[in-house]
Amino acid sequence: MIVFPAIDLKDGEAVRLLKGEMNTATVFNSNPAAQAKEFEDAGFEFLHMVDLNGAFEGRPVNRAAVEKIVKTVSMPTQLGGGIRDIKTIEQWLDAGVTRVILGTVAVKNPELVMEACKKFPGKIVVGIDARGGMVATEGWAETSDLKATDLARKFEDAGVSAIVYTDIDRDGLLQGCNVESTANLARAISIPVIASGGVASVEDIKQLKLVEDAGIEGVICGRSIYDGRIDAKEALSIASGVIEAK
């Protein structure tokens, strides 16, 4: 199981939000590339990034910060936020991003996801952000009438590498990951699922590790790493099975 440290980019800085609200941003590092290097030096092997401004504006905004991060670290990276067309996907992959995450467009134009999977095999991740089990879009500003599991099933045979499942109601609040919902989604589909939202301690990583066989590929950790609630070495040991989850 992969532990993905998260760098959420707002105005070129690494921040964290509460429930996705832009006006709740806390700046954790004004140098995101240096933060990424810290994560790599701590032993993390895959970086998760979100262009927050891009998610709201529907186009890439924090390009300079992302490009600097990619040049600074050697570990693979995945990026979401404001990626709504094939050209933008291609630009990010050409810039060195390993995988792109499609969220809003997966709801509004699923055919584009299918096309992207064919054109860029192994490079496309779908981001499903849910509020009360219903999919949210446009940087979480809108909630649809589509169930998370129904959206995920649309991409069963498309070639999607993974699904990042975020419980918005818990995001940034350190209330614990919604392990049950994440595992239920993973069991309902054959695509690997990455858990996101609310991860508060290594206990969440242990609980996810226990249901890894449901199809859990990894877990994204944000605020809990920045404020020291999660120790990198312990988290990575649990995720890899060196420390047994009980």
pLDDT at residue 132, rounded to an integer = 81
What are the tokens at 154? 């649309």
What are the tokens at 34? 């240096």
Active-site position among 51, 94, 129, 157: 129
Can you tell me the distance from the alpha carbon of 65 to that of 50, in angstroms, rounded to the nearest whole number? 11
How confident is residue 144, by pLDDT bands cut at 50, 70 and 90?
A: confident
Active-site position among 8, 51, 167, 204: 8
pLDDT in tens, 57-75: 999 999 999 999 999 999 9
**Better-scored residue on pLDDT, 38 or 130:** 38
pLDDT in tens, 209-239: 999 999 999 999 999 999 999 999 999 999 9
Task: Kindly tell me if the per-residue pLDDT of 139 is higher than 70.
Answer: no
What are the tokens at 76? 């693979």
Q: Model's pTM, two decimal places?
A: 0.94
In 76-201, which ranges are continuous DSSP H helix?
A: 86-94, 104-108, 110-119, 148-153, 179-188
How confident is residue 173, by pLDDT bands cut at 50, 70 and 90?
A: low
Question: Is 231 an active-site residue?
Answer: no
Question: Is 129 an active-site residue?
Answer: yes
